[in-house]
């Protein structure tokens, strides 16, 4: 059993919005940040919550010139009505991501499929939050991005030249299994946010996921200099896919990304995003077996996969759905003791009251 503190949604969102307003972001941007960080925490994503969002902004965002508060998205001309090209002009990544996914849904309603490619972006954190939002509205959704930094060593390499470069899918399966699937992964064995979480909580890393400054494997989060791709050549290939898709969009050299004082003055240092939404009815065939409809067919396929002795296997997104249900049951967001200490420090900086002793606690298996 582990003890968690229950932070009311209102208090969390007030802290988050105040912290970003203090850094010069607009009310709309700050509300988007609070919404996203609440979503991440509600789904149990400890690697990409408010603590991580502010850390990224301080070191690579508005505190370092990588993110421009109050920037305006520029929609570029396109001959393809179902695909939009955006120049984010380094606007807050969370605000851009919500806007881009909303536009994808609008395009999908018109054309069956909608996509938005974003250049000159800033990190949007957990892609699962955006695809789940779309899945909740009935769409099959996808996003990928190049991460803020190149901190992953290619398969058989020795120097980090790739981002953790996640891929995220959301599928509207609630009617079939009670929750929407979220297939979301970084292309490294662990995300750097996990390393920071383990350092904060005094835990050691699993083996074969990170190396130190000399390229030697380490399980000490304080010694991590770079990460390793999951599945060796497989994770490497998926990370490379993000880098090359970004290169087609307009992204530049991975080793310069977010390193604002390196490289020629006319080089780019920003990540890229890609978003896509698909209406399920746009791809539905007319030949489902045994007279099933589309959702019955999805349910039958999942039942077959989880049959044959596989009944205890987890589905992607199941843990996140369980975490969200736990948050709803307890009427707030669940944080560890170390996280509450970090959030209390943030609250004190922005003048929002957060007394650890007033928070309820709960033990979770």
Residues 83 and 116: beta-carbon distance below 8 Å = yes
Residue 218 is predicted with a pLDDT of 94
Of 185, 201, 199, which Cα lies nearest the Cα of 238?
185
Helix (H, G, I), strand (E, B) or coil at 213: coil
Decide if 203 is inside a domain.
no
Residue 350 CB burial class (10 angstroms; 0-12, 13-18, ≥19): middle
Give the separation between CA 169 and CA 144, rounded to whole angstroms: 9
Here the tokens at position 61 are: 């965002």
Average predicted confidence (pLDDT) for the chain: 96
Q: How far is CA 15 from the centre of its chain?
A: 20
Task: Answer yes or no: is 300 within a domain.
Answer: no
Cβ neighbour number for residue 3 with a 10 Å cutoff: 11
Q: What is the 3-class SS of 299-343, one letter each residue?
A: HHHHHHHCCCCCCCCCCCCHHHHHHHHHHHHHCCEEECHHHHHHH
Q: Is residue 95 part of a domain?
A: yes
User: Is 33 within the bounds of a domain?
Assistant: yes
Residue 303: inside a domain, yes or no? no
Domain range enclosing 76:
2-188+229-293+315-364
Give the integer Cα–Cα distance in Å for 235 and 242: 11
Q: In the numeric block, which tokens belong to residue 161?
A: 């030249």
**Per-residue pLDDT, 13:** 98
For residue 48, give the CATH number of its domain. Answer: 3.30.1370.60
The CA distance from 32 to 45, in Å, is: 17
Q: Is residue 206 part of a domain?
A: no
pLDDT given at position 276: 98
Kindly give, in sequence order, each residue whose CB lies less than 8 Å from that of residue 274, ignoring residues fewer than 6 positions away: 115, 116, 117, 118, 142, 143, 144, 145, 245, 249
Beta strand 83-87 pairing with 113-119: parallel
- The whole-number pLDDT of residue 151 equals 95
- pLDDT reported for residue 196: 87
Q: Could you tell me if residue 85 is inside a domain?
A: yes
Domain count, the chain: 1
End-to-end CA separation in angstroms for the chain: 4
Residue pair 153/211 in contact by the 8 Å Cβ criterion:
yes
Strands 140-145 and 167-171: antiparallel
pLDDT tens-digit series, residues 216-263: 899 999 999 999 999 999 999 999 999 999 999 999 999 999 999 899
In a domain, 346, yes or no: yes
Residue-level pLDDT, tens digit, the chain, 365 residues: 899 999 999 999 999 999 999 999 999 999 999 999 999 999 999 999 999 999 999 999 999 989 999 999 999 999 999 999 999 999 999 999 999 999 999 999 999 999 999 999 999 999 999 999 999 999 999 999 999 999 999 998 889 999 999 999 999 999 999 999 999 999 999 888 889 889 988 999 999 999 998 888 999 999 999 999 999 999 999 999 999 999 999 999 999 999 998 999 999 999 999 999 999 999 999 999 999 999 999 999 999 999 999 999 999 999 999 999 999 999 999 999 999 999 999 999 999 999 999 999 999 98
Report pLDDT for 187.
Answer: 95
pLDDT at 193: 81
How many CA atoms does the CB half-sphere of 31 hold within 13 Å? 4
pLDDT value at residue 189: 93
Contacting residues for 347 by C-beta, under 8 A, at least 6 apart: 15, 353, 354
Q: 3-state secondary structure string, 76-144?
A: ECCCCCCEEEEECCCCCHHHHHHHHHHHHHHHHHHHCEEEEEEECCCCCCCHHHHHHHHHHCCCEEEEE
Q: Is the pTM of this model over 0.85?
A: yes
Q: What is the CA radius of gyration of the chain?
A: 21
Counting residues of the chain whose pLDDT is more than 70, the rounded percentage is 100
């Amino acid at each position: 059993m582990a003890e968690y503190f229950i932070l009311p949604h209102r208090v969390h969102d007030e802290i988050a919005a105040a912290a970003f307003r203090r850094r010069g972001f607009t009310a709309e941007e700050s509300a988007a940040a609070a919404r996203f960080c609440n979503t991440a925490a509600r789904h149990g994503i400890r690697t990409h919550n408010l603590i991580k969002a502010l850390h990224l902004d301080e070191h690579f965002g508005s505190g370092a010139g990588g993110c421009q508060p109050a920037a305006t998205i520029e929609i570029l001309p396109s001959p393809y009505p179902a695909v939009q090209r955006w120049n984010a002009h380094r606007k807050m990544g969370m605000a851009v991501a919500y806007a881009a996914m909303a536009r994808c849904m609008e395009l999908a309603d018109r054309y069956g499929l909608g996509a938005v490619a974003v250049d000159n972006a800033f990190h949007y954190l957990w892609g699962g939050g955006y695809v789940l939002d779309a899945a909740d509205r009935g769409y099959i959704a996808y996003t990928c991005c190049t991460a803020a930094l190149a901190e992953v060593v290619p398969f058989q390499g020795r120097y980090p030249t790739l981002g953790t470069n996640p891929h995220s899918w959301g599928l509207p399966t609630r009617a079939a299994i009670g929750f929407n699937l979220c297939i979301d992964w970084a292309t490294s064995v662990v995300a750097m946010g996990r390393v920071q979480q383990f350092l904060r909580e005094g835990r050691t890393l699993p083996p074969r996921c990170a190396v130190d400054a000399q390229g030697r494997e380490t399980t000490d989060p304080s010694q991590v200099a770079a990460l390793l791709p999951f599945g060796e050549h497989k994770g490497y290939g998926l990370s490379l896919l993000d880098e090359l898709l970004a290169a087609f969009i307009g992204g530049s050299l991975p080793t310069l990304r977010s390193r604002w004082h390196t490289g020629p003055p006319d080089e780019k240092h920003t990540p890229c995003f890609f978003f896509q939404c698909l209406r399920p009815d746009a791809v539905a065939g007319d030949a489902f077996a045994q007279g099933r409809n589309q959702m019955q067919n999805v349910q039958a396929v999942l039942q077959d996969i989880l049959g044959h002795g596989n009944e205890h296997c987890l589905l992607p997104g199941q843990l996140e759905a369980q975490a969200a249900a736990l948050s709803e049951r307890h009427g707030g967001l669940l944080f560890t003791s170390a996280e509450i200490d970090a959030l209390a420090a943030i609250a004190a900086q922005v003048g929002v009251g957060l007394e650890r002793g007033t928070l309820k606690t709960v033990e979770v298996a």
